[in-house]
Chains A and B, each alone.
Chain A
Amino acid sequence: MSNTEYARPPSFEAVYEKLFPIIFRVSFRITGDREIAEDLSHEAFIKLMERPNLLPDLDQCKFWLIRVVKNLSLNYEKRRNREKSAFSKFTHLTVGVAESSEKQVIQEETRSTVQKALDTLPYNLRAPLVFREYGDLSYKEIASVLRISENNVKVRIFRAREHLGKMLMEGDTHVP
């Protein structure tokens, strides 16, 4: 996507057409849940609609949307961790509720090996890698989205890839 392709700001429809697949993919890979990904993408595009002025080109729209997705997914991540810890506390006390629900079992089965491996990465490694591989953001842009240094982005992406490579080669995607 070049900046010179659009002399004036692209319309909302054009932005949606081009960027929804990317935003949905980024949301899905970062949360690992299709429904949550749909909700996040929906909310991100509502926020884009509600912006008082249009962004000059597609690249900036993508960057802006990914920034929104980052905030939303971080909120989701925090909530999920809270729920997980509350749940594990609860299962320590009572026996019998440890079995996961039917929906969870189905989700677990339909998730791909790659997605399972991604889910084992901590958020701070997963987010930069997903933004790089699925959002096609530069290190500079990722640094700006995550408010970390470019050097930190480099290190995190390396660690994420190293971990992921190990997981995929071993074929061990057991989630602890």
Chain B
Amino acid sequence: MCPDRHLISAYLDGEIESPWDKAVAEHLASCQSCRLLYNKLAEASRALREEPLADWRAPMERVHLALRSRTPPRQSQTSVWERRVSVPLPLAALAAALVLFLGVTFVATQLRPKIGLVRITKAPAGGTEIQISAPISELETLLKSVGAEDSTREDVILLPKNVRLLPVGEPRMGKAAEFPKVKTW
């Protein structure tokens, strides 16, 4: 009995699975009408595949140029930052909790000694008592930070007495008076 004619076409494409392809091959060897059909189908397939496609280079060049002028070709690899990562929700929650816990402990351990450096208390007499406990190496910065708590600060720079200051260049006002029409600034 001849197999379904569709099977002969599928056999031509190598789309018949292992035990059945041998059966089809054996049948083709013995059945002339099926062999004729097979040859006809194979001929149609061959005619298509062997049909030359003239002049695909020119379109290839044109399209390539158009694509290149459109946007620069992308990098072959996506950047690490653009890559998507999927993490299961419980794991993500755990990681977030861990990060939070570590962050809090870090901040607490780092801040505690600094908070303890200066203690300002109002003395019952009305004055202010400042207690400073810090290693000597940090004392300078500590004093600075205490001083910075003042709202205003005055600094006086004393120059040596016999210094002579030379005016360099012309003052802007003078220039403006000389060239009133030309505004370059």
Whether chain B is bound by chain A comes out as yes
Q: Which residues of B contact A41 (CB under 8 A)?
A: 59, 63
Q: Check A37–B59 contact: CB distance below 8 A.
A: yes
Q: Which of B45, B66, B73 contacts A161 (CB 8 A)?
A: B45
Interface assignment of B181: CB less than 8 Å from any CB of chain A: no
Q: Check B67–A114 contact: CB distance below 8 A.
A: no
Interface assignment of A147: CB less than 8 Å from any CB of chain B: no
Give the Cβ gap from B181 to chain A, nearest Cβ, in Å. Answer: 56
A24 to B54, CA, bound (A): 11
Q: Which of B10, B71, B77 contacts A49 (CB 8 A)?
A: B71
Q: Check B44–A45 contact: CB distance below 8 A.
A: no
Given A161-B41, A161-B44, A20-B63 contact (CB < 8 Å): yes
Interface assignment of A138: CB less than 8 Å from any CB of chain B: yes
Give the Cβ gap from A133 to chain B, nearest Cβ, in Å. Answer: 4
A162 to B77, CA, bound (A): 46
Q: Which residues of A contact B45 (CB under 8 A)?
A: 133, 161
Given A21-B56, A24-B56, A38-B63, A9-B76 contact (CB < 8 Å): yes
Number of contacting residues on B, CB 8 A? 34
Q: Which residues of B contact A13 (CB under 8 A)?
A: 73
A13 to B43, CA, bound (A): 36
Given A161-B44, A165-B40, A20-B51 contact (CB < 8 Å): no
Mask, A153-165, CB within 8 Å of B = 1, is: 0110110011011
Give the Cβ gap from A43 to chain B, nearest Cβ, in Å. Answer: 10
Q: Check A169–B6 contact: CB distance below 8 A.
A: no
A164 to B48, CA, bound (A): 9
Interface assignment of A86: CB less than 8 Å from any CB of chain B: no
Give the Cβ gap from B84 to chain A, nearest Cβ, in Å. Answer: 8
Q: Which residues of A contact B41 (CB under 8 A)?
A: 158, 161-162, 165
Q: Check A25–B53 contact: CB distance below 8 A.
A: yes
Q: Which of A139, A155, A168 contacts B15 (CB 8 A)?
A: A139
Chain A's closest residue to B13 (CB) is: A132
Q: Check A46–B67 contact: CB distance below 8 A.
A: yes
Interface assignment of A67: CB less than 8 Å from any CB of chain B: no
Q: Check A129–B48 contact: CB distance below 8 A.
A: yes
Q: Which residues of B contact A133 (CB under 8 A)?
A: 45, 48-49
Q: Which of A12, A112, A168 contacts B73 (CB 8 A)?
A: A12
Q: Check A164–B44 contact: CB distance below 8 A.
A: yes
Given A42-B63, A49-B71, A53-B78, A168-B44 contact (CB < 8 Å): yes
Given A129-B48, A133-B45, A158-B9, A38-B74 contact (CB < 8 Å): no
Q: What are some 23 contacts across the A-B interface (CB < 8 A)?
A: A9-B76, A11-B73, A12-B76, A20-B63, A21-B53, A24-B59, A25-B53, A29-B48, A42-B66, A42-B67, A54-B76, A114-B48, A114-B51, A118-B48, A134-B48, A154-B10, A157-B10, A158-B9, A161-B9, A162-B41, A164-B47, A165-B41, A165-B43
| Pairs of residues from A and B, 5 with the lowest C-beta to C-beta distance, nearest first | A158-B9, A11-B76, A165-B44, A38-B59, A164-B44
* New A-B pairs, 8, CB < 8 Å, besides A42-B63, A158-B10: A25-B56, A34-B59, A115-B51, A154-B7, A157-B9, A157-B13, A158-B8, A162-B40
Interface residues of B (CB under 8 A from A): 5-10, 13, 15, 40-41, 43-45, 47-49, 51, 53, 55-56, 59-60, 62-64, 66-67, 70-71, 73-74, 76-78
